[in-house]
Amino acid sequence: MMEIINKFKGKGFKLTPQRLSILKFLDGNTSHPTAEDIFKALKKTHPTVSFATVYNTVQALRDRGELQEITIDPEKKHFDPNTAPHHHIMCTACKRVEDVFADYSSALQLPENVSKNFAVSGNHVDFYGICKKCRS
């Protein structure tokens, strides 16, 4: 937590109480929350908070490379404070998104005809399935 605060010191990023609350919620969070999830959590400590604050903060964090946007769910965006390269799996029944920690990098070579046309900046693998809970 102290880490986080120091990370943003003197970067033109103001550490407001609202932002601290969001940062605390996101710190080590592996639930891949949506903007609404963050908003709900934030309302507990800041009942009068605005949705715009959530989007503003999310955007500021994204711009600073401290938060990544997950595209696995066709319905809505999820966010992930873990910016290390990793992958995800979503249960198509309950929509929960879980982490997949595996290094596929050496296998994910692009075919010649694509690699010659793109300066590649990254990749991720999305898996889909049904989780144990949803089968019982």
Partner DNA sequence: CTGCTATAATAGAATTATTCTAAATTAGTA
Partner DNA sequence: TACTAATTTAGAATAATTCTATTATAGCAG
Residues that bind Mn ion (CB under 5 A): 80, 82, 99
Which stretch of DSSP H or E encloses residue 78?
A: strand 78-80
The least CB distance from residue 87 to Mn ion, in Å, is: 8
- With vertex at residue 133, the alpha carbon angle to CA 99 and CA 128, rounded to the nearest 5 degrees, is 45
Q: Can residue 111 be called a binding residue for DNA (CB under 7 A)?
A: no
The least CB distance from residue 7 to DNA, in Å, is: 12
Residue entry with tokens 């898996």: 127
For residue 117, CA distances in Å to 108, 109, 112, 113, 120 come to 16, 14, 9, 7, 9
Is-contact 108 70, C-beta < 8 A?
Answer: no
Residue 80: CB atoms within 10 Å: 20
Query: Which of 5, 130 has the CB closer to a second copy?
Result: 130
Q: Can residue 68 be called a binding residue for DNA (CB under 7 A)?
A: no
Footprint on this chain of Zn ion (rule: CB under 5 A):
91, 93-94, 131, 134
Query: Which of 35, 91 has the CB closer to Zn ion?
Result: 91
CB under 5 to 8 A by kind: which of Mn ion, Zn ion, DNA, none does 35 bind?
A: DNA
Q: Which residues sit at the interface with DNA, rule CB under 7 A? A: 9-10, 12-19, 34-36, 46, 48-53, 55-57, 59-60, 75-77
